[in-house]
């Protein structure tokens, strides 16, 4: 089971390995014939493993248009992706990424850039790669980047409440 550190969804440091593994366990009880073992690796290595080796199941997304991969939703909950910034009194409003030109954004390190990376590059944003979402949020708190890329649950996973969505 290829996975990355992405608390609270997947983490080697959480009892039961996180929310996704608990959901998978419910599904596996009825549908799997053999047990699975989590393999936690950095994002770039997960991407490489999925491109270069045989794999059966992963919480890391496969390459786009992989005709052999099948997405299996384990929950109806919708996870939104977006940018975090330091708390500010001015509203955080923008219509196009290009309005954030020359700003830096921390996001998970890939082995190969995907569609999200390409959109940020085309907007002329500076990409700063990290190994965990928490690392990106920490860089933001310490003013080493202008934004951190994450999902709508990332803030709940850090004790640092200096950010707003």
> pTM here?
0.68
- For the domain covering 81-164, report its CATH number: 3.40.190.10
User: In whole angstroms, what is the distance from residue 87 CA to residue 85 CA?
Assistant: 6
Q: What is the pLDDT along the chain (165 residues), one digit of tens a residue?
A: 999 988 788 888 888 998 899 999 999 999 999 999 999 999 889 988 988 877 889 998 887 778 888 888 999 888 888 899 998 888 888 889 999 999 999 998 876 777 788 899 999 999 999 988 889 999 999 999 999 998 887 766 664 444 444
Instruction: Please state the domain extents for the chain.
Output: 1-76, 81-164
Residue 2's nearest CA partner among 30, 44, 65, 34 is 44
Give the 3-state secondary structure of residue 53.
Answer: coil
What DSSP designation does 101 have? Answer: T
User: In whole angstroms, what is the distance from residue 103 CA to residue 46 CA?
Assistant: 28
Which H or E run includes 45? helix 43-52
């Amino acid at each position: 089971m290829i996975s990355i550190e992405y608390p609270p969804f997947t983490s080697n440091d959480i009892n039961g390995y996180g929310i996704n593994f608990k959901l998978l366990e419910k599904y596996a009880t009825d549908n799997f014939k053999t047990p699975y073992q989590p393999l936690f690796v950095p994002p770039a290595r997960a991407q490489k493993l999925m491109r270069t080796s045989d794999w059966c199941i992963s919480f890391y997304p496969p390459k786009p248009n992989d005709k052999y991969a099948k997405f299996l939703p384990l929950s109806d909950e919708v996870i939104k992706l977006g940018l975090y910034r330091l708390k500010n009194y001015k509203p955080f409003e923008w219509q196009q990424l290009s309005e954030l030109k020359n700003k830096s954004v921390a996001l998970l390190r890939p082995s190969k850039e995907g569609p999200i990376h390409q959109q940020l590059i085309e907007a002329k944003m500076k990409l700063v790669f990290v190994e965990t979402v928490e690392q990106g949020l920490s860089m933001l708190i310490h003013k080493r980047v202008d934004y951190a890329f994450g999902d709508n649950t990332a803030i709940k996973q850090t004790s640092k409440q200096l950010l707003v969505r």
